[in-house]
C-alpha cells in the first residue's frame, strides 16, 4: 500500500500546481490513470441515423445551396459524444453528400483519404486524377489522399452517397494540405472505368511504356456492387463455413499488395443469413456500418438497436457487438483498422 498524503503535503502540492500551471507544467500523478487507460473508453457513443430522415434535411439543403456554391454539399454525421469535432469516431468522419441532376462538385485535392458508398441514385460520377468511375447504388468508390477529384451528376435523378474520410486522423497528425484546381473539372486523362478494367479482375498491367498509370499504392478506386454482391452470395451458397463472429465477410483490397483499400481506412461487406446471430465480438476499430439489405438488430454492450435498410450505425471502439439477422442482412462497414494495424494498435476479442 502506498502511503496516503498528509493534509499538509496535499495543501503544499495544490499550491505547487497553481504556481506551475502558468508555465504549462502539470503533475502526471494526478492524471495518469485517465491518460493511460487499462482498456479503450471511447468518448464516441453508439448512434444510428435513419436514412430517410437525414435525406429530408439534405434535400432541403439542396433547395438552398448548390453543390458548386457549397464546394461539397454534405451533412456531417457527427457522433453525439464528439460534439463540435465533426467526427463519427475519434479517427473518422462520415457525411451524406448530395449531387442534384446537372450539378458538379468542383475539382480539389487534399491529404485526407475518402471513400464513397452510394446510398441512392445511379449514373453520377467521381473523377479521380482525370478518370471517371460511374457510380451505382451500393458501389464503393475511393478518392485516395493527394489525388484530384471532382463529382458530377449528368443524370436526371439525385445522387446521394456516404462520404467516409480520415479527417480527424489527419487533424490529429497536423498534416493537412488542400488545394483547388483552377477549373471545375480535372481534364480527362483516361477512359471511364479504365483502372477497374486493368486492376479489378485479379490481374495487373504488365510493365511497359503505358502500364501502371495509377500510383502503385492506389491502383483501383471503384468496387462495384455488381461485383461484390454476387461474390457474397456465391460465398453463402457455396457451403463455405460461416464465420461465427462476422457472418460471410469480405474485405475490399488493394489488388497490387493485398493490403487495405487505403492507408488509413479499411472497408468490408458481410452477409448474415436470415435467423443468424453472431457471437459477441469487440475490436479497437470503431466501425461505421451501412445496412445494404435486410432487417435485424445490433446488440451493443447489451443495448439493442433495430436495423433497417440504409440505416447508418456507428459502433465505437471496444464495444461488444452481436448482430441478429431477421431477414438476410447485408452490411457495409468501414473503420480505421488499416491505420491501427500500421501502428501495431489493432486488437480484437472474439467471445
Q: Are 250 and 320 in contact (CB under 8 A)?
A: no
Is 72 one of the binding residues for ligand GTQ (CB under 6 A)? yes
Is 74 one of the binding residues for ligand GTQ (CB under 6 A)? yes
Q: Are 266 and 251 in contact (CB under 8 A)?
A: yes
Q: Are 158 and 121 in contact (CB under 8 A)?
A: yes
58 vs 330, beta carbon nearer ligand GTQ: 58
348: helix, strand or coil: strand
Residue of 163, 285, 311, 336 interacting with ligand GTQ (CB under 6 A): 163
Nearest to 102 by CA among 157, 56, 181: 157
- Cell numbers for 129: 486524377
Is 267 one of the binding residues for ligand GTQ (CB under 6 A)? no
74 vs 232, beta carbon nearer ligand GTQ: 74
Is 153 one of the binding residues for ligand GTQ (CB under 6 A)? no
Is 103 one of the binding residues for ligand GTQ (CB under 6 A)? no
Is 113 one of the binding residues for ligand GTQ (CB under 6 A)? no
Is 127 one of the binding residues for ligand GTQ (CB under 6 A)? no
- Cell numbers for 45: 457513443
Nearest to 225 by CA among 288, 269, 192: 269
Is 162 one of the binding residues for ligand GTQ (CB under 6 A)? no
How many C-beta neighbours within 10 Å does residue 311 have? 20
Is 114 one of the binding residues for ligand GTQ (CB under 6 A)? yes
Q: Where are the alpha helices (DSSP H) in the chain?
A: 7-20, 32-35, 51-64, 67-70, 167-172, 194-199, 225-237, 337-342
Q: How far is the CB of 329 from ligand GTQ (least distance, A)?
A: 27
Q: How far is the CB of 351 from ligand GTQ (least distance, A)?
A: 35
60 vs 201, beta carbon nearer ligand GTQ: 60
98 vs 331, beta carbon nearer ligand GTQ: 98
Q: How far is the CB of 181 from ligand GTQ (least distance, A)?
A: 12
Q: How far is the CB of 192 from ligand GTQ (least distance, A)?
A: 18
Q: How far is the CB of 128 from ligand GTQ (least distance, A)?
A: 11
Sign of the C-alpha dihedral, residues 193, 293, 312, 173?
Answer: negative
Return the H-helix or E-strand segment holding 322: strand 321-325
Beta sheet of 222-223, edge-to-edge order = 74-76, 93-99, 159-165, 114-120, 140-143, 222-223
Q: How far is the CB of 45 from ligand GTQ (least distance, A)?
A: 21
Number of residues that bind ligand GTQ (CB under 6 A): 8
Total H helices, total E strands in the chain: 8, 22
Q: How far is it, in rounded angstroms, from Cα 217 to Cα 142?
A: 13
Q: How far is the CB of 124 from ligand GTQ (least distance, A)?
A: 12
Is 115 one of the binding residues for ligand GTQ (CB under 6 A)? no
14 vs 174, beta carbon nearer ligand GTQ: 174
Q: What residue ranges bind ligand GTQ (CB under 6 A)?
A: 72, 74, 95, 97, 110, 114, 163, 165
Amino acid at each position: 500500500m502506498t502511503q496516503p498524503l498528509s493534509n499538509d503535503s496535499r495543501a503544499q502540492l495544490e499550491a505547487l500546481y497553481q504556481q506551475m500551471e502558468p508555465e504549462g507544467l502539470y503533475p502526471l500523478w494526478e492524471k495518469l490513470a485517465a491518460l493511460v487507460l487499462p482498456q479503450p473508453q471511447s468518448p464516441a457513443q453508439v448512434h444510428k441515423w435513419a436514412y430517410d430522415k437525414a435525406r429530408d434535411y439534405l434535400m432541403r439543403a439542396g433547395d438552398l445551396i448548390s453543390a458548386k456554391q457549397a464546394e461539397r454539399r454534405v451533412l456531417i454525421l457527427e457522433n453525439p459524444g464528439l460534439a463540435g469535432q465533426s467526427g463519427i469516431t475519434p479517427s473518422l468522419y462520415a457525411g451524406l453528400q448530395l449531387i442534384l441532376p446537372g450539378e458538379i462538385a468542383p475539382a480539389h485535392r487534399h491529404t485526407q483519404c475518402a471513400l464513397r458508398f452510394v446510398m441512392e441514385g445511379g449514373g453520377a460520377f467521381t473523377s479521380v486524377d482525370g478518370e471517371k468511375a460511374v457510380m451505382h447504388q451500393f458501389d464503393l468508390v475511393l478518392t485516395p489522399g493527394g489525388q484530384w477529384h471532382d463529382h458530377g451528376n449528368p443524370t436526371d435523378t439525385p445522387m446521394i452517397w456516404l462520404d467516409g474520410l480520415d479527417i480527424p486522423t489527419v487533424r490529429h497528425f497536423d498534416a493537412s494540405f488542400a488545394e483547388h484546381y483552377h477549373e471545375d473539372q480535372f481534364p480527362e486523362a483516361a477512359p471511364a472505368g479504365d483502372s477497374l478494367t486493368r486492376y479489378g479482375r485479379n490481374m495487373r498491367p504488365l510493365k511497359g511504356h503505358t502500364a501502371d498509370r495509377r500510383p502503385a499504392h492506389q491502383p483501383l478506386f471503384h468496387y462495384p456492387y455488381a461485383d461484390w454482391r454476387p461474390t457474397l452470395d456465391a460465398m453463402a451458397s457455396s457451403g463455405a463455413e460461416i464465420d461465427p463472429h462476422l457472418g460471410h465477410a469480405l474485405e475490399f483490397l488493394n489488388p497490387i499488395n493485398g493490403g487495405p483499400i487505403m492507408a488509413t481506412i479499411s472497408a468490408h461487406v458481410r452477409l448474415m443469413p436470415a435467423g443468424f446471430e453472431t457471437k459477441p465480438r469487440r475490436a479497437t476499430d470503431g466501425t461505421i456500418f451501412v445496412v445494404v439489405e435486410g432487417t435485424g438488430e445490433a446488440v451493443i454492450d447489451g443495448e439493442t438497436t433495430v436495423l433497417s435498410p440504409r440505416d447508418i450505425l456507428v459502433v465505437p471502439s471496444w464495444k461488444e457487438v452481436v448482430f441478429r439477422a431477421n431477414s438476410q442482412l447485408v452490411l457495409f462497414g468501414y473503420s480505421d483498422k488499416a491505420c491501427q494495424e500500421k501502428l501495431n494498435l489493432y486488437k480484437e476479442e472474439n467471445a
